[in-house]
Amino acid sequence: MEIAKIAAYAINEPGGTAEPFVYETSFGSADVLVRITHRSLARGDIQFIDNAWGDTRFPLVPSHEIIGIVEEAGSEVANLQPGDRVGIGYQQKACFECAFCTQGREQLCARQKVIAVDCYGGLANRIVVDGRFAFRLSPQLDAAASTPLFSSGLTVYAGIVRAQLPAGSRAAVLGAGGLGHLAIQFLHKMGHSVTAFSHSPHKRGLIERLGGAFADSSDTEHTIEYNGAFDFILSTLNVAFDLDSFVRMLTPEGQLCLVASPVGPLSLSGGQLNNSRRSIYGNYIGSRSDSVEMLDFATTHGIGAVVDVMPFARVNDAIERIRRKDVAMSLVLES
């Protein structure tokens, strides 16, 4: 087993700044060594930096959406070779032995390894990852615009697909940020009508260009007009919100999917469910097969993130921009 030396930026304490950091990691027969060309920073990374969920491992090397070029492939890696352009997401490893893994749902593996909690991420020059979690990127996809697909895009895509919506369903997306603006595109290209709820009127133009209709979520007097209107609602909100008001917007058999993690609890009146056949479920990233399907769909339909691109060396400037919410949708650091 070889040892790879990685030059990275790490945060050493909650709320800290990114500082140069070098670490060594093993490179096994099932692994690939990838030279990173693009990595994203998003609100979720800031929450890891601040240890908002209480499970961040310091020193932290954040960024869980990565694109790069394979430099080396282990002897057991059959589908990748040096020179391939690949994308890497939040999950780095799985046991491939448990019931979830053998059923193709590796994202539910109890022994999985993920960035920020178990592994170092993309604020680095290179990364070593199990080759089964590195996905070849079509030459048709732009690297910067595709970087957020590997976590944000996968999470919303898998959540949508799980609903098994019939063609022409009426869908809503809560939030039109990094996750939400990708969800709008996926739903629209799948043939569904999409309404995006946002408290930011300046996003109306972008939402409409992506295929959605804008609804002002802060206009509570008029949101009741949507009661019973939607077959499916996808929430990308990472702050507490009035769950009851959105459940009321579902049809009697409508589904609401949560793909973000509000730090505070959400409350729900039980009558919203037991007087109907409505359902609420969560979605956590996606499986390897979901990743392949999502990338194929994005390639076919030209789906990509709206990104601001900055040089990798300006990592702390990028972190501060995200803290100030001075980013249109997604921010990608390019080497």
- Tell me the CA end-to-end span of the chain in Å, nearest whole number: 28
Q: Which residue, chain included where needed, has tokens 């603006």? A: 181
Mean pLDDT, the chain, integer: 95
Confidence at residue 206, expressed as pLDDT on a 0 to 100 scale: 96
Confidence at residue 317, expressed as pLDDT on a 0 to 100 scale: 97
Confidence at residue 271, expressed as pLDDT on a 0 to 100 scale: 84
Confidence at residue 263, expressed as pLDDT on a 0 to 100 scale: 76
Cis bond upstream, residue 59 (ω within 30):
yes
Range list of β-strands (E), 12-121: 18-27, 31-41, 66-73, 85-88, 91-93, 113-114
Rg (CA), the chain: 20
Secondary element (H or E) of residue 156: helix 152-162
| Each residue's pLDDT tens digit, 91-145 | 999 999 999 999 999 999 999 999 999 999 999 999 999 999 999 999 999 999 9
Residue 272 and residue 197 in contact, taking contact as beta carbons nearer than 8 Å: no
Q: How is residue 272 written in tokens?
A: 């919203």
pTM summary value: 0.96
Q: Residue 115 in 3-state DSSP?
A: strand
Domains in the chain (CATH in brackets) are 2-150+287-334 (3.90.180.10), 153-282 (3.40.50.720)
Confidence at residue 239, expressed as pLDDT on a 0 to 100 scale: 87
Cα gap 46→49, rounded to integer Å: 5
Does the structure show a pLDDT above 80 at 168? yes
Q: How is residue 187 written in tokens?
A: 């739903």
| Each residue's pLDDT tens digit, 21-78 | 999 999 999 999 999 999 999 988 999 999 988 989 999 999 999 999 999 999 999 9
| Mean pLDDT computed over 291-301 | 98
Give CA angle at 108 (143, 238), nearest 5°.
65
| Each residue's pLDDT tens digit, 67-82 | 999 999 999 999 999 9
| Each residue's pLDDT tens digit, 205-261 | 999 999 999 999 988 888 889 999 999 999 999 888 999 999 999 999 999 999 998
